[in-house]
Amino acid sequence: MTEARRRRKKNRVTSLDIAHRAGVSQATVSRVLAGSPLVNPETRRRVEQAVRELNYKVDRHASSLRTQRAGTLALLLFEDPTPDDSHINPFFLSMLGSITRACARHGHDLLVSFQQLSDDWHADYEDSMKADGLILLGYGDYLTYRAKLETLVAQGTHFVRWGQVEPGQPGVSIGCDNHAGGRLAGQHLLACGRRQVAFLGDASSRFPEFQARYQGCDAALREAGLGLSPALQADADSTEEAGFKATRELLARGQPFDAIFAASDLIAIGAIHALKEAGLRVPDDVSVVGFDGTAMARLADPPLTTVVQDTSRAGELLVSTLLQLVRDQPVQSVMLPPTLEIRASSMR
């Protein structure tokens, strides 16, 4: 055993040590540290001094075992279909950042874990008392997803999910108003004088977020007597490669289009590459609008117009809602309004 480790183990300070040094009982030490008002100010001072002098920290396990609260939330990040380190969707990494910060603000720790949406989730953080509740993050086939959400509800697990908000869903969801976001994109493309808008992304009910974006854009176009055409829709999951391929496929169809609304920024960036490769100019020949508001949208060439999801508010809302749930307070699903950030990729 190293010297440092021996020191650490031997020196392990407990609340009893603090009690002795401050001349009070263990119970009083606990009260001071819990911020109880039932403590004489002078007593509190002495205890706090002893805590400082001995660098005492409450043992989390002892505390949690007694109170049956972990003071910790767990974030499950689903990463189908790209289990490659470098390919995690930057939007979700941004969400991870804001969730981490929100947890810290609320005085909770955050356990982070990556899961395959298609596999069995290791959602037993609450059963083993490691976390008071779960935050579920990541899109994927909703057919798979929904069944697992129902299992969680049946087990009485506390969880909040990021995703499309729809009536009758199991559990509580926080999500972007994707329909409104699609509408913003459609209206903007109309204002740019575009008439034939292509959509890149799976628009079926298996991907409710993408579907709502599709429908929102479609609705905006319909109000102008237009609409999205199935002939100008191509599936793509949220990667640059998929956006690249889908755009090539679209071009191969020969059906003319003057704008692309991509279901995510990554898809949009892939689309821009494919358009350039085909000798088309962005935005002169084709306007491109993405979705998410990731940092890379600004770095794209040309800079990408994108529907921005408010990740800061999203993280805060996910955490605060989950904590309310844990405390048995009433909660509700919330849709956050997106905004449009207009850049050169769409404006002629």
Partner DNA sequence: CTGAAAGCGCTTACAG
In angstroms, what is the minimal distance from the CB of 10 to DNA? 11
As measured in angstroms, the least distance from the Cβ of 123 to a copy of itself is 11
Q: How many CB atoms lie within 10 A of CB 86?
A: 5
Shortest approach of a copy of itself to residue 253 CB, angstroms? Answer: 25
Nearest to 99 by CA among 66, 69, 117, 76: 76
Q: Retrieve residue 88's tokens.
A: 């995690």
Interaction between residue 33 and DNA (CB under 7 A): yes
Q: Which is nearer to a copy of itself, 218 or 240 (CB)?
A: 240
SS3 113: strand
Token duo for residue 309: 């999801």
Q: Is 60 helix (H, G, I), strand (E, B) or coil?
A: helix
Q: What is the tally of helices (H) and strands (E) in the chain?
A: 13, 12
Separation CA 245–CA 271 (nearest Å): 8
Residues within the interface to a copy of itself (CB under 8 A):
1-5, 7-8, 55, 57-62, 64-65, 70, 72, 85-88, 90, 93-94, 96-98, 100-101, 104, 109-114, 124, 126-130, 153, 155-156, 240, 269, 273, 276, 293-296, 298-301, 311-312, 315, 328
CB of residue 122 to DNA, shortest distance in Å: 18
Q: Which two tokens stand for residue 108?
A: 């909770």
The nearer residue to DNA, 86 or 128, going by C-beta atoms, is: 128
Report the partner that residue 7 touches, choosing among DNA, a copy of itself, none (CB closer than 5 to 8 A by kind): a copy of itself
- The smaller minimum CB distance to a copy of itself, of residues 64 and 229, is found at 64
Asked if residue 195 lies in contact with residue 258, where contact means CB atoms within 8 angstroms, the answer is yes
Query: Between residues 28 and 306, which has the closer beta carbon with respect to DNA?
Result: 28
- The stretch near DNA (CB under 7 A) out of 28-36, 188-196, 198-206, 225-233 is 28-36
Within 3-22, the residues that bind DNA by CB under 7 A are 12-16
Q: Which is nearer to DNA, 72 or 211 (CB)?
A: 72
CB atoms within 10 A of CB 69: 12
Residue 329 touches which member of a copy of itself, DNA, none, C-beta under 5-8 Å by kind: none
Q: Write out the two tokens for 242.
A: 């998929």
- The span from the CA of 307 to the CA of 292, in Å, is 6
Task: Tokens for 331, please give them.
Answer: 């909660």
Cβ distance to a copy of itself smaller for residue 4 or 38: 4
Decide which of a copy of itself, DNA, none touches 339; Cβ closer than 5 to 8 Å per partner kind.
Answer: none
Residue 17 vs 235, nearer CB to DNA: 17
Query: Residue with structure tokens 């009690």?
Result: 19
Name the one range near DNA by CB under 7 A: 60-68, 150-158, 166-174, 206-214.
Answer: 60-68
Nearer residue to a copy of itself within complex by CB, 58 or 219: 58
SS3 70: coil
252 binds, among DNA, a copy of itself, none (CB under 5 to 8 A by kind): none
d(CA 292, CA 289): 10
DSSP state letter for 220: H
Q: How far is residue 76's CA from residue 253's CA, in Å, rounded to a whole number?
A: 39
Which segment (41-49, 241-249, 282-290, 299-307) binds DNA by CB under 7 A? Answer: 41-49
15 binds, among DNA, a copy of itself, none (CB under 5 to 8 A by kind): DNA
The nearest distance, CB 11 to DNA, in angstroms, is 11
Longest dimension (CA), the chain: 86
Q: Does residue 348 contact residue 284 with C-beta atoms inside 8 Å?
A: yes
Give CA 170 to chain center in angstroms: 18
Task: By CB under 7 A, name the binding residues for DNA.
Answer: 12-16, 23-31, 33-34, 37-44, 56, 58-59, 62-63, 65-68
